[in-house]
Structure 1
Amino acid sequence: MNTTNTICLRKPVLCSLFLLIGILMQALSVSAADVRIAGMVTDASNNDAVIGATIRVKGTTTGTTTDANGKFTLTVPDNATLQISSIGYENTEVAVNGRTELTITMKPSTSQLQEVVVVGYGTQRKVDVTGATVTVKGDELVKQPVLTATQALQGKAAGVQIINSGQPGASPVVRIRGTGTALGGTAALFVVDGVLTDDITNINTSDIVNVDVLKDASATAIYGSRGANGVIIITTKRGKAGKLQINYSGNVGIRNAANLVDMANAVEYANYVSAASGTLVNAGNTSTDWYSKILRQGFTQTHNVSLSGGTEKATHFLSLGYFTDQGIVIRNQYDRFTIRTTNEFKINDKLKTGIIASYASAIDRRVNLGSAYNNAYRAAPIIPGKENGKYGNTSVYQNVGNPILDIENNKDRVLDNRLQGAAFIEYKPVEWLTFRSNIGDDWSNQVSRVYNYQFNNDTITFLAPGGNQRNANSNLAFRNTKTSHWTWDNTVTLNKTFGKQTLTVLAGTTAEQYTQTWFQSYRKDVPAAENLWYIGTGNANTSTNDGSGDKWARNSYIGRVNYNYDDTYLLTATIRADGSSRFPSQNRWGYFPSIGAGWVLTNESFLKGQLIFDLLKLRASWGRVGNDRIPSDAYTVTVTPNLAYPYGGGVATPGSAITQIKDPNLKWETTEETDVALEFSAIGGKLTGEIGYYNKKARDLLINVKVPSVTGDADGQVLTNAASIQNQGLEVVLNWRGKITEGISYNVGGNLTLNKNRVIGLNGGQPILDGGVGGNQPYTTRTDNGQPVGSFYVLQTLDVFQTQEEVNNYKNSQGTVIQPSASPGDFKYQDTNGDGKIDDLDRVFVGAYQPKAYFGLNAGISYAGFDFSIDAYGNVGNQVYNGKKAFRQLAQDNVESAMAYNRWTSANKSQTEPAANSGNLLASTYFVESGSFVRINNVTLGYRVPNSVIKKLKISTIRVFATAQNVITFKKYSGFTAELPGFSSTNNAGVVTTGSPTTAGIELNAYPTARTIAVGLNVGF
């Protein structure tokens, strides 16, 4: 018996190991046999040679590229697998299996070179685009149970900051590459199937194919006056020729407040108020959590049905959608019904036409959020909320209404009907020339009714008599607003290829007009029965009526040239001339040019042999866009009627007078931007990304400038073009897609935006003071030279006075006691200017709401029909202002639990929390907190039923899923939410703005962020 047999009999495990080693050595010796391959790579669609394709041996760095005839030679192991990749084609793998000659075909791909993106008034291949754009697929957006696509866009696009609100029916604030104005309009432009709009709450996310964001001036210049704040182009679904396809998608879920503020309980409150007022307060037997009384678990659901089909001559698409969001505040709800239809007709080979129309009807059941939330924060927890139909009478104890009664005793309903549509005709006399005319309208009618019930101690039973929460007369406020915004575009496009050169020329005209009229009326003593809520049923002697409107128009001429040489050298030049009625005739026209260039380095001979990059593209651009979003009468001096003017005898006589100063030479706000970026695809398309830098300067911005008051203007200011703002930033995007095995694929990606915003010149303009929160804080922000827009401008708290001796010893250089009226436990404020007193001249800048960086992260994996994805979003380096904490006005107002627990006392020598006080603290760094946060935005788990199962059911696809939105937020801020778009305010320009950049970051009555958990179903027939 030989040695091997002996070992195998006595040591079978060791024998098995020897045999395994022997097999592996034999396999290695076999694989070591190399073969020399002569191969050719061709296009599967036309059999043409694929030039410059990368051939790589799988698992190694060995490889080569095809020559001008699509051929290659390579020495490889005879059992190797080759990986072939090329721009514009799907990646493929081929096993050698000992062969020495190979012919490999590649299928054209819609990615990279051939991927088409939507740009202004047309489309381009992604590789041809020289401006900064980003595309997000509708399939990515529809995962989230939200009202609008922009809410779901958060964290998915570099340079795009989305600030969401938890309030049903509310649109998020969109900031593209920072804030570029202070008093002008800041909203991005939406273009939905060619129709221009500022709001997409009427668009069903399930109907969206793509969202294309145009970020830099080169990309947006084609929209001229509308492009200053970025452009978001939405393309909806179309019908496809073939048999009728029916699809259903829906989800149902529940919503809860994601984060609540802990308020002082009855005992903490009693102790705090007793110390603040000097009067003993009894905690009693009640401890009311007012927020829990006005919040609830909400319900949300979405249902969508679509039908698609047609022939080669005519296609159609029809969708129906229903969305409801029962807010987490009691009696708050938003319902929307949508219908969208798209029909396209091919008259002949040269002529086609189509109609796109959508209708949305929404009912917004609003709540008295401002009053209710402020009162819920301030109301004493020792007063019961509501028991056996009786309300706790908070107003007996303090000047605050019962938050439950604030909501339940009024009804605020808004009915919004909106029709949006477009029709086009396209004519191609020859293959390379296209004429297109597109006309669209966005029409809406909004009717608002707000009814306040009459109540007092007789009609509303309180748990305690007296108090001042009453409404002596019922009243009804009615408002009817009608809006129409039509656009008409006429373009001609030439697209011609000359050998290696491709030239595309676009020229055209566009016109648009916006008209709005509104009428409102108010009467008291309207009956309580809801079917009698009409102005005519009230007391005519109490009637007030008002009405007005707005109208403006634009006329524009556009031109664009795209040049491509050999898919290597790219050039884009754009010009748009805009005429706007919002400016005086001498400044009515603005001219907005741009130019961009691109260089595809991987098509150069010096990179042909490299095996890392599939695509390496350098692009640079410069452009100029405008902003005319100012009041239509901003330059027109108007006369104020019905003013009392006393003549010699002292008798007041009605008259009219000019009471304001206006600049008759107002002109465009202009933004000029430079953009440089490197785009790449590497390792067979597994790694893709982009690194870009932008420098965006906005000049001639609206600002108030002081002038001698000679016309009766109270503050002696005139609105004019004087300020400048700069945004500089860096954008980084990285995405990786790969396979673990043949059945398991995954993706990981992220984007990061660094942005620096600052005012670079007021040029005689006055700093903008804004963000008042009441009491001793009429303003908290200041927009001034060298600072970000809406920077917090407050007193610097040093610490808390511990003894009277510290108060007496706090002096300036001249020996003046700086805070002589302070007591131990009061804040010690910094005397910034050293004048021996604390006033507004001592305020300092302490940051702004605009983040220094924001980012998005995403990951996903799929296996055997299962798919899992997770998205995160966050921002860092910004500040927020706890305005609700500053809103306390009386000693009896409630406080946050942390304030009550950590307050300064003789036994607790706190350096950060002052002693119990009656409110009305000065605006200071005490209220400024970190606004940085990271949130898990969405987690989705889905399962697609196998084809073998669904074929028996005679359907094409079934997918079930569970999703969670706003899963968890990591933040330092002590308030409800660090996402604070800015409350509605009337700025110094007289413009009423929502989400104003000069008030952003202040939490006063923000709707709390809601967490949503939902399950859903997608079915295709």
Structure 2
Amino acid sequence: MKRIFTRISVLAVFCLLAINVAFAQNITVKGRVSDGGDKTTIPSVSVLVKGTQNGTQTDASGMYSISAPANAILVFTYLGYTTQEVPVNNRTTLNVELASSSQQLDQVVVVGYGTQRKVDVTGSVATVKGEEISKQASVNPISALQGKVAGVSITNTGAPGSSPQITIRGTGTIYGNTGVLYVVDGVWYDDVSFLNPSDIENLSILKDASSQSIYGIRAANGVVLITTKKGKTGEPVITYNGSIGFKAVTNQVEMANATEYATIINELSASNGANPLFANPSSFGTGTNWYNQAFRNALQTNHQVSVNGGTEKTTYNFSLGYTNEDGIVKTQNYKRYTAKLSNDFQVLKPLKIGYTVSGTAINTNDINDGIFRQLYTAGPVVPVYYADGSYGDANDFSLGGGNNFNPQVTLDYFNQKTKNYRFNGNVYAELTVAKNFTFRTSAGGDFGQKEIIGYTPLYAATQGQRTTQSTLKIEREETRNWILENTLTYKNTFGDHNLTVLAGTTAQRRKLYNISSTAFDVPYSSDGDLYLSLGTAATRTVVDRGSLSTSASYFGRINYSYKDRYLLNATIRRDGASQFFGGGDLWGNFPAVGAGWVISSEEFMKEQKVVNYLKLKGSWGKVGNAGVPVNPTTLTVSQGGDLVAFFNGVGYTGANINSLVPSFLNWERTTGTDIGIEAKFLDNRLTIETGIYNKKTEQAIFEIPILSSIGTASGSLIGNQADFQNRGFEFLATYADKSKSGFSYSISGNIGINNNKVLSVVTGLNPIYAGGAGIANGALSTRTIQGGAIGEFFGYKVAGIFQTAAEITGSAQPSAKPGDFKYVDQNGDKIIDGKDRVVLGNPNPKFSYGLNTSFGYKNFDLSLDIQGVAGVDVYNANIAYRFGNENFSKDFYDNRWHGAGTSTTYPSAAVGSTINAAPNSFYVEDGSYIRVRNVQLGYALPSLLTSKWKMQRVRVFVDAQNAINIFGYKGFTPEIGGSPTNAGIDASVYPLSATYRFGLQVTF
């Protein structure tokens, strides 16, 4: 034992001496980094000791200083320049010239099941770096893409934690799942709200059918590939990203004040033949501004800490994130906690294994869905509170109908909380077989639990806002999804030929379980412990529902290039989905092919100096959409107390068919053709990418209305009903350069043009009507018909306002009153009816565009993003959605008709009457807008200063998002989403807000 102890002691001393010697051999290396062309110095160049995380950056003068072993290798990296590795060789002064990189075409692009060099890509794939996403003040990473990618339309809402609506190259389906497929580290998702934007390494958007087809059944609406950050070899690097700021409502709609409200309500009473409701309107003054009462500047904080490092055998990346975001409506709050860990292990030379796991916890304090409707319509003559502290009561002012409430009561007594827990990730093993074969197997999962608890206590606030019994509602939802994938890749280069062959299989299961329940007379609990069992047993209700779907897939792909000049890409995928089992086309085949020609590599292009790079590419492919309800061909029935069946004169609880179903259902397929050009000019400073596409959805699945006399509950029939088409053009131009003084900049602009058209419908020229939500009297405001766009606005064309009774006499609207809309008699039959309705507008944007810039000088950086849409219409349903004495906007009050000659465009206060509230052109407004999406100014502290603090980098920044918005729409925001046949209808959308932040980024 003593001998062993002695040997260990000697070994320890030897190790310590070795360490001391190693440290003693460190020397201080200084130098300047400059441009190899114009010899100007380059600030903010990364200088790293190879194999470690010991690094620094050049200062504003291009100077650096670093401690490194005498035999170390220094790695110099800067965007737009070729990375250089320079041996120290005992030198204490090391000046380096970086060569401008013309090899950006060798950039690796993430595509389905692997990567490709950008030069080899024949489809339409857009890439956004994670650092660009994290610059935005968006909690959801997809929101940050707005305006950055041509052909991609994103509609955001102002609600904290909400998921944006993303559309890639137009609306291609109108039934079931219309969203894109998200693939995060190989696992498939419908939503990525669980992701912390700071955890993203890069994001790729697959826009054409050729690049999408490798994902077969889920790719019809587009695919977004997200790669999260992985560990890197070297010493641990700790990074902190944090910000604090606030959100404020922009473009707040001004409502009529109390005096104006009382005046116009008296006019409304007169039009209905009643006495004035208010004797002296001016006595009310300005009254209550309900928006100011409910809205606030909402605090927002974000913090993220990550640790990254590893050895040659293993690497790791760990991060923790925290987001706390208040809503602009008082009482609303969103909190998210994220944790992510990834490890990669080089177990043996040919074997690598790894995993990525993440957990998310989201807690929200919710608001009543109808609060914005209440704030828009609440009477300003009603005070929030009376002098005695009781709530102001609309009934005390004889306000009935839809105005019988006090919004503050709704805020105070609405008590609903949502908790969402999610655990997901994947594990993989990658084995190099022989020389050119790589086998990879992976298993991923997505497991979540969501709980919504809402409680309404006994209360009596006003005559119209009170309860006679308490109510407890609990909804629980569980998600249990898994995916297994195996791929075998052959990759080889022989002579001028490059060949990559991929073959793989996928098996998936998606399970959703949901239970919702209600109990009455549950006593209030101050500690929040509420249970259904505490309520009255006789009135408790429980609804149990869920879904289960499985799929199996086989796929393959060939990538071939000759002399990096002639490119070929071919893909095939075969999918089977349980949704179509027992009455559907169970299996579907999805082929694709793409080709490219690098013209600039031809001999006849060698002598010219104008074009640095030029590639012509084209592709064709077919993808599918399995986002339909489970077993859509299965006939289902429902029972209810309102249904009675008589047998032998005795009544029994009856049943009804929910909806008619087809005996057979084909796949909904999308076929796309894409032709594009990629080019570089001016010594690679100017990059242009442009292309045209034709995307056709065939045998689209959706519901069409049928006669109610048939006896179905929904009055609809599911089937392959129509063909749609989206044709468009995309253009992207980027110019990047750096001046001799060290001023660097990049300016990038993009535009996407899309035309949506219904090619055919099985009902022929019989239209499909929708868009009744939020419309007065439930009138349908949209139409989908052959030859038009999906969900076009449809109604009467307004020709003016009736001024006098004499003008009405003999007109096509004999029941009208002065101040009512005058409609165009389209068919000249002297009768205004449904035959006179016409197309009023299109909610599908024709143009979407973005301008993204970045500037750098010394330690300062500035980025400015501008985004907008044009050629789009929205329907302002708020104006006519009236049931009594609701308030009016200030715009309506100022421009209303209130006597002959007062207005020829706005109707009278009776805008909510049947004749005026019918869908018409008055409510359809231009939805175009342009906004400063984001502006950020940053400053990085000098490296000489940060090195004294043992820090690699310290950067502070301030930014503003959505601070400037220019549009003509008379609502809060023209950015209005919705399902395809109900899109663009503003029935009290969440208001637009601007975000202002101060942030700090530190790397240790």
> Could you tell me which residue of structure 1 aligns to residue 457 of structure 2?
453
Q: Contact 2:145–2:154 (CA<8 Å) still a contact in 1?
A: yes
> Could you tell me which residue of structure 1 aligns to residue 683 of structure 2?
684
Matched position secondary structure for 1:165? coil
Shift of 1:645: 4.3
Distance 1:225 1:950 in 2: 52
Counterpart selection for 1:1013 from 996, 1000, 1003:
996
1:547 aligns to 2:544 (yes or no):
yes
After superposition, the C-alpha distances for 1:976-998 in whole angstroms (9 at most, x for unaligned) are 1101112xxxxxxxxxxxxx111
Shift of 1:468: 2.1
1:200 to 1:525, Cα distance in 2 relative to 1, 3 A: same
Shift of 1:661: 1.6
1:111 to 1:942, Cα distance in 2 relative to 1, 3 A: farther
Distance 2:99 2:497 in 1: 23
Q: What is the TM-score with the length of structure 1 in the denominator?
A: 0.85
Q: Contact 1:385–1:402 (CA<8 Å) still a contact in 2?
A: yes
Shift of 1:834: 2.9
> Could you tell me which residue of structure 1 aligns to residue 76 of structure 2?
none
1:947 aligns to 2:976 (yes or no):
no
Matched position secondary structure for 1:547? strand
Shift of 1:226: 0.9
Counterpart selection for 2:905 from 888, 912, 916:
912
312-321 or 647-656, larger mean C-alpha shift: 647-656
Shift of 1:567: 0.6
Shift of 1:794: 1.2
> Could you tell me which residue of structure 2 aligns to residue 930 of structure 1?
926
Counterparts of 1:593-604 in structure 2, within 5 Å, are 593-604=591-602
659-668 or 200-209, larger mean C-alpha shift: 659-668
Shift of 1:285: 3.2
> Could you tell me which residue of structure 2 aligns to residue 756 of structure 1?
755
> Could you tell me which residue of structure 2 aligns to residue 201 of structure 1?
193
Distance 2:790 2:176 in 1: 12
1:274 to 1:578, Cα distance in 2 relative to 1, 3 A: same
Distance 2:523 2:418 in 1: 20
Shift of 1:711: 6.5
Distance 2:854 2:442 in 1: 40
What residue identity is the alignment partner of 2:524?
A
Distance 1:344 1:715 in 2: 52
Shift of 1:294: 1.1
> Could you tell me which residue of structure 2 aligns to residue 894 of structure 1?
887
Matched position secondary structure for 1:597? strand
Shift of 1:806: 1.8
739-748 or 289-298, larger mean C-alpha shift: 739-748
Q: Contact 2:880–2:911 (CA<8 Å) still a contact in 1?
A: no
Q: Contact 1:204–1:338 (CA<8 Å) still a contact in 2?
A: yes
> Could you tell me which residue of structure 1 aligns to residue 400 of structure 2?
398
Matched position secondary structure for 1:968? strand
Matched position secondary structure for 1:369? coil
> Could you tell me which residue of structure 1 aligns to residue 785 of structure 2?
784
1:113 aligns to 2:110 (yes or no):
no
Distance 1:415 1:658 in 2: 36
Distance 1:855 1:940 in 2: 20
Distance 1:944 1:140 in 2: 17
After superposition, the C-alpha distances for 1:750-802 in whole angstroms (9 at most, x for unaligned) are 10001001111112265332221243342111111111111100111100112
After superposition, the C-alpha distances for 1:710-738 in whole angstroms (9 at most, x for unaligned) are 96336764211020110000000001011
Shift of 1:532: 3.2
Counterparts of 1:818-897 in structure 2, within 5 Å, are 818-890=812-884, 892-897=885-890
Counterpart selection for 1:233 from 188, 213, 225:
225
Matched position secondary structure for 1:582? helix
Shift of 1:386: 2.9
Matched position secondary structure for 2:349? coil
1:166 to 1:716, Cα distance in 2 relative to 1, 3 A: closer
> Could you tell me which residue of structure 2 aligns to residue 536 of structure 1?
533
Q: Contact 1:526–1:532 (CA<8 Å) still a contact in 2?
A: no
Please, which runs of 5 or more residues in structure 1 have no aligned partner?
A: 1-54, 60-86, 93-103, 811-817, 983-995
Distance 2:81 2:676 in 1: 24
1:270 aligns to 2:258 (yes or no):
no
1:387 to 1:424, Cα distance in 2 relative to 1, 3 A: farther
Distance 1:256 1:277 in 2: 37
1:616 aligns to 2:614 (yes or no):
yes
> Could you tell me which residue of structure 1 aligns to residue 746 of structure 2?
747
Q: What is the TM-score with the length of structure 2 in the denominator?
A: 0.87
Shift of 1:289: 0.9
What residue identity is the alignment partner of 1:228?
A
Counterparts of 1:112-191 in structure 2, within 5 Å, are 112-191=104-183
Shift of 1:108: 9.7
What residue identity is the alignment partner of 1:833?
N
1:914 to 1:639, Cα distance in 2 relative to 1, 3 A: closer
Matched position secondary structure for 2:934? strand
After superposition, the C-alpha distances for 1:233-257 in whole angstroms (9 at most, x for unaligned) are 0011011111011000000001110
Matched position secondary structure for 1:113? helix
Counterparts of 1:213-252 in structure 2, within 5 Å, are 213-252=205-244
Matched position secondary structure for 2:441? strand
> Could you tell me which residue of structure 2 aligns to residue 507 of structure 1?
503
Shift of 1:562: 0.2
> Could you tell me which residue of structure 1 aligns to residue 490 of structure 2?
494
What residue identity is the alignment partner of 2:660?
I
Shift of 1:314: 0.6
> Could you tell me which residue of structure 1 aligns to residue 252 of structure 2?
260
1:861 to 1:774, Cα distance in 2 relative to 1, 3 A: closer
Counterpart selection for 2:421 from 408, 411, 417:
417
Counterparts of 1:304-319 in structure 2, within 5 Å, are 304-319=304-319
Shift of 1:807: 1.2
Matched position secondary structure for 1:730? strand
> Could you tell me which residue of structure 1 aligns to residue 807 of structure 2?
806
After superposition, the C-alpha distances for 1:239-278 in whole angstroms (9 at most, x for unaligned) are 1111011000000001110111111111111111111102
Shift of 1:58: 12
Distance 1:642 1:184 in 2: 26
Aligned-pair Cα RMSD in Å:
2.2
Q: Contact 1:584–1:665 (CA<8 Å) still a contact in 2?
A: no
1:711 to 1:911, Cα distance in 2 relative to 1, 3 A: closer
Distance 1:712 1:903 in 2: 45
Distance 1:89 1:499 in 2: 29
Distance 2:815 2:464 in 1: 34
Distance 1:535 1:596 in 2: 59
Distance 1:56 1:867 in 2: 23
Distance 2:704 2:296 in 1: 49
1:659 to 1:968, Cα distance in 2 relative to 1, 3 A: closer
Matched position secondary structure for 1:647? strand
Shift of 1:343: 0.4
1:227 to 1:453, Cα distance in 2 relative to 1, 3 A: same
Distance 1:851 1:639 in 2: 39
1:275 to 1:642, Cα distance in 2 relative to 1, 3 A: closer
Distance 1:710 1:913 in 2: 40
What residue identity is the alignment partner of 1:1002?
I
After superposition, the C-alpha distances for 1:883-940 in whole angstroms (9 at most, x for unaligned) are 11121222x2111111111111336431101122161321111111000000100010
> Could you tell me which residue of structure 2 aligns to residue 581 of structure 1?
578
Distance 2:953 2:129 in 1: 20
Q: Contact 1:145–1:302 (CA<8 Å) still a contact in 2?
A: no
Distance 2:604 2:232 in 1: 44
Distance 2:710 2:899 in 1: 57
Please, which runs of 5 or more residues in structure 2 have no aligned partner?
A: 1-35, 41-78, 85-95
> Could you tell me which residue of structure 2 aligns to residue 62 of structure 1?
none
1:646 to 1:320, Cα distance in 2 relative to 1, 3 A: closer
1:716 to 1:305, Cα distance in 2 relative to 1, 3 A: closer
> Could you tell me which residue of structure 2 aligns to residue 4 of structure 1?
none
Shift of 1:398: 2.2
Counterparts of 1:757-772 in structure 2, within 5 Å, are 757-764=756-763, 767-772=767-772
